[in-house]
Structure formats: structure tokens, C-alpha cells
Structure 1
């Protein structure tokens, strides 16, 4: 007997499933394009930016696997499986966007970045699994393509809105220690748009019940106890090595006088090792794996395809985070000759960064709907991702030869193509290869390889910048170009 299939979704149905991501990405875009500007406006130095940004990846690292685990096991009747998390995260994120530009001090702004990123991650992680829940495998590529288009469109709106407000007469300058009206109003608009778009998806979609999901996926939905077996069979030497690595990082920071935020990296390595030891001992004692056991066990038991894609993610997201942290100081200092955050020229340069970010996101939206389907049909998803990553590396490298700020729009085309493949291809490949009952937790664990390189950039890049080119942040873009090219090389090992 043939198993029942999920309903084939029209373009409108695909749009309803992912429309909430439009608002979520508005929030991320406002954060990515403006937080360095807010921090510098409130008095931080260029060297301290990575330390302040560390909240964002750390929050994603902690929140996404937990939300993925619980959303796999949630069913609230007509409220569904993933939608409660969409809505809770959107409410918290909207409130954070309202409060953020009112921050009176640098400490308050840093705390609000933590809350904002946690809230956005609560909404975002289930959206990745939601596409897999709602679509059969033959529509995964289309579903993630439409999701990427909404991500690009939302990011365009979020990135360019402060600039548009300035063109409309809203003040783009502020007294020292203050945030311009153009930024404040953009954050408030973003909060309203985020909440409205997530509500659209919540209202217009109906999730499949656990019984329907079991009928669709059959044996794949049966818990075979593999997590407990993986944990019980693991040796204790690996967790001890993680603990030793963390201790080594802490000692190195203390002896070499490295940036203090690198202590966080050591703590995370040691913390994972200790968590693994606890989970292994619990499994050997015959206890059922709880939250900690499932996260550790599923991380250790990732499918080979996911491990290879993880390497690609590590390199590509390293490049992206370098870009998000450093584009504002690079553009304002190199192309606008304005390192002082209180100067009008700096504010003009910062607004031009909004235009640049809007450009690469707009290119990504068009690429996801036009270029990626055409290219992947001819050379496959894996090679399409290779091409996109190489375009991104070329975009970063081209920044060094652009004669003025307007020419940076050309660089953003290559970065935008890379962004479209980063957001679509790994998830389309992965969703078709994972068991449905663990789609949420695996998507959350896959995010580890998005945020771990960001943590490394946030903890290590400050030391590199300070020691090698303290007054020339443009050299961070050379690091971005090299790491993006490294991700393309790693992608050559991935076969669907």
C-alpha cells in the first residue's frame, strides 16, 4: 500500500509557509547593519566590537538545539507543533526592537542584543524544520528557495530603511552618545513588521498532526533508541579531550595576554566535554536520554552528509560574520575618511552600509528564485553551492580594488549570490536526508556550525585586528575572501 503524501503546495502555499521569515529577517538585518553603529555611537572602540557581538552567536548556539528538541516533541492541538515557537519568539523580538534604540548606555545595548538574538532564534529555528514538515521531498528545494527569497526581501527592507528615512527628511545625526532618529524609527518599524509577518504564517497555515506525520513517514517516525545506543557506545576519551582543549585555551589566553573574550571559547569547549561525560554515564546506567542526552547523542551521531556540510557552513559563516562586524568601520574609514562615529561623514557612510547590505540581500532574493533553480537543474545542488561560494569570495576580494563607495555595489552582487546559496542549498540537501521525527533537533544542531565560527570570529578576530592592523580594518575582508574560498573547496567533498 502506498503511503499518503503531503499536499502539493502552490506558490501561494509556499509563500504562506515562509512569509514569517520576511519579518524575522528584517529583525536580523537591522541588527547586522546597525549594531556596530549603535555600539560605536554609545562610545565603544573598534577593537571592542567583536566582544560586544559575541552575544549573538552564543545565544544561537544555546537556543537553537534546545528549541529544535522541544519543537519536535510539541503538539498543542490547533496551535500546532512549530507555530507556538514562531509566535513567542516574534513577540519577544518585536519588544526588543522597540527597546534597543532607546538604550541609554553601552551595557543596556549589549544586553538587548542578547535578548533580541535569542528571540529571533526562537522564531527562526522552527521555520527551517517547518518547510520539511509541510512539504514532500520533491518540493524541498522549491520551499527553501522561496524561504530564501523572503529572507532576501526582508533583509532589503531592514537594511535600507534607515537610509530611506533619511531621504524622507528624518534626522540621521545625533549628539555624542545618542542614536539617530533614522535608526530608532527603523527599529520600531521593524518590530511591527516582524510581528505582522509571523502572524500571517501562523494564521494561514495548518500543521499536520502527529498521526498524519507518522502516516507520511512511516518507520522514520519511530524512535529506535539510536540516541541512547550512540551515547552508551561512546568512549570517555573524547569528552576528556574537549575538556583539555578548553583548559588549554584558558591557559593560553592567560599566558599570552590575548583578548579576554577568548575565555568564553575555552569555557564552551570544556562545557561540551563535561556535558558529554554526563550524558554518556547516564546512558551506560540505562537511563533514558533527556534534553542533554538527546542533544549530545544526536550531535555525536550526525549522518556523514551532515558532517561534510558542517565544514562548509563553518567556513562560509566565518566570512559572513567578519563582514557583518567590520563592514561599517571599513566603509566609513576607508571610503568616507570618517573613523569618528560622531561625525556627519561617519553617519553618511553608515547609511551607505545599509544600502550595501540591502543590495546583497536583494541580489540573494532574485538569485534564489531565478538563478539557483536554473543552475541546480543543470549542475546539481552541490556544484551550484560551489559556484555561489566562489562568487562570494570574489566579492570580498574585489573590495580592495574599488575606487569609491559606489563601486562597492558590484562587490555586493557576488556576496549576494553566495548568500542565496548559503541559505538554500545546504538546507535543501539536508532536509531530504534526515529522519522527520528529528528534523527540528538536527536543524538546530546544524546551526552549531553557523554560530561556532561566529564565536571564533568574535573572540579571535579582535586579537588579530589589534595586533596586526589596528588602524586598517579593511584587511578583515581578506580573511573573509579566504574563508569563503575555503568553504567552496570543502563543498567539493559533498555529494547529495
Structure 2
């Protein structure tokens, strides 16, 4: 009877994570366009970060519950796949409904409906995310985990590139309108969400069909779990009590990674919420008053020049987000080999450093002169500064690739096999909490410290990412400890 977990060939590892391409496709559409949608529906800059709070709150509430539930789920679809499929279906529904918020004005304000759909999408994405992370840990043997999470990072970024660039393509290649007056959503954004919902469902169904999870007996044997170690199902109150005990007694590596995660995700939240207004103000030279609903209410209509600038800037944010995802995808190809050669900590820290420098350098690239740009799929005229912003996206992409892979690769080796799912869910606290903190304070910082000049809040994101890079050196890497132990045994 085989006791060692079998190695997977490349396409098996690929299929395990392929659905993540579609999930990230939808997530990228959300990240690049929700601030744009909510602004068009009537949200001001200060409240944008508060609306975005629904995303990390959903993650905080849902991922640990889903993680614990998936640890104990064994049915015809497997252990993780039922949750992945259910989350994908719910996310697709949210993506179909959100851009149609103005149609529901009879029932509630479009902005409130949009916020509710954001909550539905994020809840559903989180139902998918955590089981996908655990699926890699379940299916991929420890010696292939760097490769497994790197492939997952690659697929995530392929999905992010396509999702981010899609509204731009629909405007500049297909010819859909990319502008909207207050209370409306641009047609290019609406159709991008429809396409995203379709891709999300298709890729997740591929993973569900093409991946066969281990039976409980095989899983326990491969992970070295004795029969008596498998706990019977307990009442909800007991499970909640045990859950909080797990939180308190989480592995040291997880606690140390939590500090790195705090500064990393604080930065990312700011980027997702405020890149669109920052680009519009800093590169397209749109005055900050056109982001104030109270001021807009005093004028007969928004000038065409402002509407066009907002539409063009919103599309270019998709290009920039696609760019950092491309750089992340390319870096992901080399990430596992670099980590094996130079160590996870050094590669992780250097990657975050590159991201911090990228954010801070945002201020250096303002140039309002127009330049003709050939993007292969189309040609556009944009400010020179918009093109130059592709440079800091290199560092941000490198940081993003590392954030998607390195913490999970370091954490996987520090977790007990039979509690991987619940601990991966608990680890999502380190993703959600910094975003909640950023959501509560970044709007006030922008309004009262920077007088709604959004470019400066991006610099705050850069400083936070630099702190994350420093924090990496205080993390205890289980792989490094194991190697040192083996060396001492053979000394």
C-alpha cells in the first residue's frame, strides 16, 4: 500500500488551480472597476474606502467558516470542490447584477444596490479562494508546493490581465461606450462583467471536472494521519470554541507572517480603491471637485471634457492593473527557482521592496502632453505620464506575485495536515484585517491630511509596503529550519 503522496505532473497541478484563473478574472474586474462604478453611482472619495470595506469583512467572516467546513466535507464532489463550485455560481450572479444597479432604483438607491452586489461578489470570491488554496495543499506533495503555488500565482495573474484590460478592449477594439453620467454605468463595464461571469463559471467547472480529490483514507495515509486522530463531527458550539483555541494557538510562523501581511494588504487595499481617482487627477488633470457629489449636484451637468477624461482614465487603470499582473505572471515563472536558490525570505522581502518603490515613484511620472500609443490591439492617445506609469507597475507586479505565493508556501509546511483548511481560513484574517483598517482610516487620511489629492495616498501605500519588506526578516521559515536541522544531523 502506497504511503507516500504521489507526485503530480505539470498538467495535473495546472488543472488543480485552473479555476483560479476565472475567479481572479472576476476579482480583477471588481478591483479595477468598482470604484469607477460606485463613483458614477454617487459615492464621494471619502466614502469609497468605506464601501470597499464589505470586501475584507466578507473574507473575515466567510473564509474561516468555509475552511473549517471544507476540512470535514467528503462527498461525491470531494472535499474542496463543492465550495469552489458554489462560490463560483454565486459570484457569477453578483457580477451579472452589479452593473445593472440603476435598473433597481424602484427598490433602493443604485449606490446601495451596487454595494450589496459588491458584498455578494466578495463573499462568493472568498468561498472560492480558501478551498482553492487548501486544494493545492491537499493535492500537491510538499516537495512540489513551491511549484504548485507558483503555477497558481501564474494562473491568477493571467486571469487578472484579461479581466483588467477587458473594459479597455471593449471600448477601443469593439467600440462600446466607456462614459457615463452620474447614476449610470458605462456599457463597456457592463459587458465586461457579463463576460467575466461566463469565464468564471467555465474555468471553475473545468477544475471541478478535471481534478479528482483523494478519498479520506488516501488523504489520511498520505498526510500521516492515524485513524484515531480524525475527530468526529461535533456540535456547532464546540466547534466554535475549538476554532478560537486554534486562533489563539496558531503556529509561530503564522503569527510572524501576519505582520508582513498587514503591511502588504494595507497597501493593496489603498491601490485598488484609489488608483482610479489618483490617475484621473494626477495624469488626466481632472480637478478634485469633480469627485465631490455635493459640488456636482450644484451644476447642470458634468462637462464633456471631464466625462471623457474620467472614462479614459478608468480604462487606463485597467491597462495598468493588467500590466502589473503581466509582470507578476512573468515573475511567477521564476519565483519557485529563485526561492529554492536564494531562500524564500530574501526573495519575498526583495519583491515587497520593489513594490514599495513602485508606489512611491508614482509621483515622478506626471506629464500631461499627449502621445500616440500602439497597443497592438488598438491605438490610443494618452498623456505621457500615463505611459510612464507602466514603469512602477513592474515593481508592483513583482510584489503581487510574491504576496500570492510566498506566504502560503511558507505557511503550508507549518500547519497540521488535518487542519489545513481551517488554518488557511484563519490566515485570511491577516488579509482581511489590514484592509478593514485601511478602509476605516484611508478615506479620512485622504480627506483631512491630503485634501482629497489622491496621489498622496498612493505614497502611503508605498511606505506600508516597505515596512512589509522589513518584517519578512522576522519570519521563521519552516523549510529553512528543516534544512538546518538536517545539516546538523549529518554534521
The answer, yes or no, to whether TM exceeds 0.5 is: yes
Q: Shift of residue 288 of structure 1?
A: 9.0
**CA–CA distance in 2 between the matches of 1:488 and 1:223?**
38
**CA–CA distance in 1 between the matches of 2:236 and 2:127?**
26
Do structure 1's residue 152 and structure 2's residue 157 form an aligned pair? yes
**CA–CA distance in 1 between the matches of 2:228 and 2:258?**
26
Contact 1:140 1:432 in 2 (8 A): no
Q: Unaligned regions of 5+ residues in structure 1, if any? A: 229-286
Do structure 1's residue 347 and structure 2's residue 346 form an aligned pair? no
Matches within 5 A, 1:29-428: 29-76=28-75, 78-104=76-102, 105-168=110-173, 169-219=175-225, 223=229, 290-338=238-286, 339=288, 340=290, 343-370=307-334, 372-403=335-366, 404-428=385-409
**CA–CA distance in 1 between the matches of 2:11 and 2:309?**
44
The one-character-per-residue Cα deviations of 1:221-252 (angstroms, maximum 9, x if unpaired) are 75488xx9xxxxxxxxxxxxxxxxxxxxxxxx
Cα gap change, 1:220 to 1:432, in 2 (>3 Å):
farther
Do structure 1's residue 14 and structure 2's residue 19 form an aligned pair? no
Cα gap change, 1:300 to 1:165, in 2 (>3 Å):
same
Q: Shift of residue 429 of structure 1?
A: 1.1
The residue number in structure 2 matching 1:282 is none
**CA–CA distance in 2 between the matches of 1:481 and 1:110?**
27
The one-character-per-residue Cα deviations of 1:441-468 (angstroms, maximum 9, x if unpaired) are 0001101010100000101111212211
Runs of 4+, deviation exceeding 6 Å? none
Q: Which moved more, 1:195-204 or 1:44-53?
A: 44-53
Contact 1:318 1:457 in 2 (8 A): yes
Cα gap change, 1:414 to 1:384, in 2 (>3 Å):
same
Q: Shift of residue 153 of structure 1?
A: 0.5
Q: Shift of residue 376 of structure 1?
A: 1.2
The residue number in structure 1 matching 2:482 is none
Contact 1:86 1:198 in 2 (8 A): yes
Q: Shift of residue 470 of structure 1?
A: 2.1
Contact 1:220 1:435 in 2 (8 A): no
**CA–CA distance in 2 between the matches of 1:63 and 1:192?**
24
Q: Shift of residue 289 of structure 1?
A: 5.9
The residue number in structure 2 matching 1:489 is 470
Contact 1:26 1:154 in 2 (8 A): yes
SS of the aligned residue for 1:19 comes to helix
**CA–CA distance in 2 between the matches of 1:119 and 1:138?**
31
Contact 2:362 2:459 in 1 (8 A): no
How many equivalent residue pairs? 433
Matches within 5 A, 1:434-445: 434-445=415-426
Q: Unaligned regions of 5+ residues in structure 2, if any? A: 103-109, 292-301, 367-384, 478-491
Do structure 1's residue 469 and structure 2's residue 469 form an aligned pair? no
Cα gap change, 1:305 to 1:181, in 2 (>3 Å):
same
Q: Which moved more, 1:459-468 or 1:391-400?
A: 459-468
**CA–CA distance in 1 between the matches of 2:328 and 2:145?**
18
